[in-house]
Amino acid sequence: MSPIIAQDPQEEIKGVINQLFKGMQEADSIAVAAVFMEEAIMQTIITNKENLASVRQEAVSNFASLVGKQKKGALNEIIEYGDIKIDSPLAFVWTPYRFYYNGTFSHSGVNAFCLVKSSRGWKIQYIIDTRKR
């Protein structure tokens, strides 16, 4: 009888987030959509010239569709894993990033992910990011 090896929740969570960015690189809208909960929320914090912030929301389906219209390799978001906090079926992940479009630096910032462990495994429920040039 083989011993059962428990999966490391942090590695499972990183796998979901890595699948999102791999799907973006591959221009694979199905892979991108698959990492999100059905009612997921995507938001971006935009800062104007007066340094005042506002929040823009985008539907996951629109984002996935946009990804699918890109050339493979056009979207490249390079992330670093910061804090990962887990409490049973809830996780928060902080990932500073640099985003490149067609090989050219576009912007950087931080992604803040909220994931939920559902019957389908860990899925992204909420993501909000900052953007700096």
In a domain, 2, yes or no: no
The answer for residues whose C-beta is within 8 angstroms of residue 59's C-beta and 6 or more apart is 42
In a domain, 55, yes or no: yes
Domain enclosing residue 117, as ranges? 9-130
In a domain, 119, yes or no: yes
Average pLDDT, integer, range 89-93? 98
In a domain, 1, yes or no: no
Query: Model's pTM, two decimal places?
Result: 0.91
In a domain, 3, yes or no: no
Number of folded domains that form the chain: 1
How many angstroms separate the CA atoms of 63 and 68, rounded? 9
| pLDDT reported for residue 83 | 95
In a domain, 100, yes or no: yes
Neighbour tally for 93: CB within 10 Å: 23
> What tens digit of pLDDT does each residue of 47-60 get?
999 999 999 999 99
Tell me whether strands 75-79 and 90-101 are parallel, antiparallel or unpaired: antiparallel
With b for 16 or more beta-carbon neighbours within 10 A and e for fewer, the 28-59 pattern comes to bbebbbebbbeebbbebeeeeeeeeeeeeeee
Q: Are 31 and 17 in contact (CB under 8 A)?
A: no
> What tens digit of pLDDT does each residue of 58-74 get?
999 999 999 999 999 99
| pLDDT reported for residue 3 | 47
| pLDDT reported for residue 80 | 98
In a domain, 91, yes or no: yes
Query: What's the CATH code of the domain at 33?
Result: 3.10.450.50
